[in-house]
Structure 1
């Protein structure tokens, strides 16, 4: 009887340890490797209400060719700090969202 109990305990323990190793690694990898943010979705979520669905402006200025006027670093600073009627978005945007949005906007020429 003790042998059967010992064998059952070992089987249950080995099954538990096996289950811990496989699925957990994939879950951890997904948490440490964030998917790259989509600049157009970031724009839609944070900018469209003032700058329009075609970047044509409205409450905020037209930014269809903002890359001709501002560098990527200048765009980052403007988004973070605001200015000229624009509110700051430093807290609202994640760093990755800020960078991909600024790079996308800087490419608009």
Structure 2
């Protein structure tokens, strides 16, 4: 069931990126692969289905924390979580936090 939830989330992210054409006069948006970010930075503590392990379950983290709070937690760490302030680029941090804030 949890694997299906994670698969649905990944599919929704992929589909939401389809069909977005940008005006050529505007700079191209930086594309961030959120599932890959999660895999690279989060999965070892929060699990492959966000179920937790060494870190807490974050399947519904958006019910407890808003995007700004999630950004702060990722940047500064806390409660056993290491800080990732220098590890992630700003656009990666914002994309990951936005995705996590949407998990409700």
2:32–2:91 contact (8 Å) kept in structure 1? yes
Q: Quote the offset at 1:47 in angstroms.
A: 0.3
Provide the residue aligned with 1:52 in structure 2: 47
Provide the residue aligned with 1:61 in structure 2: 56
* Structure with a larger share of its residues in helix: 1
Where 1:64 maps in the other structure, the secondary structure is coil
**CA RMSD after TM alignment:** 1.2
Provide the residue aligned with 2:90 in structure 1: 95
Structure 2 gaps, min length 5: 1-26
Q: Distance in 1 between matches of 2:50 and 2:35?
A: 11
Instruction: Spell out structure 1 runs of 4+ moving beyond 3 A.
Output: 32-35
- Highest Rg: 1 or 2? 1
Provide the residue aligned with 2:33 in structure 1: 38
Q: Distance in 1 between matches of 2:32 and 2:43?
A: 17
Q: Distance in 2 between matches of 1:100 and 1:34?
A: 12
- Any idea what the Cα deviations from partners look like across 1:19-50, whole Å, max 9, x if unmatched? xxxxxxxxxxxxx8563111111101100000
Query: What's the TM-score, normalizing by structure 1?
Result: 0.68
Q: Number of aligned pairs? A: 78
Query: What's the TM-score, normalizing by structure 2?
Result: 0.72
Q: Residue 71 in 1 paired to residue 66 in 2?
A: yes
Q: Residue 107 in 1 paired to residue 79 in 2?
A: no
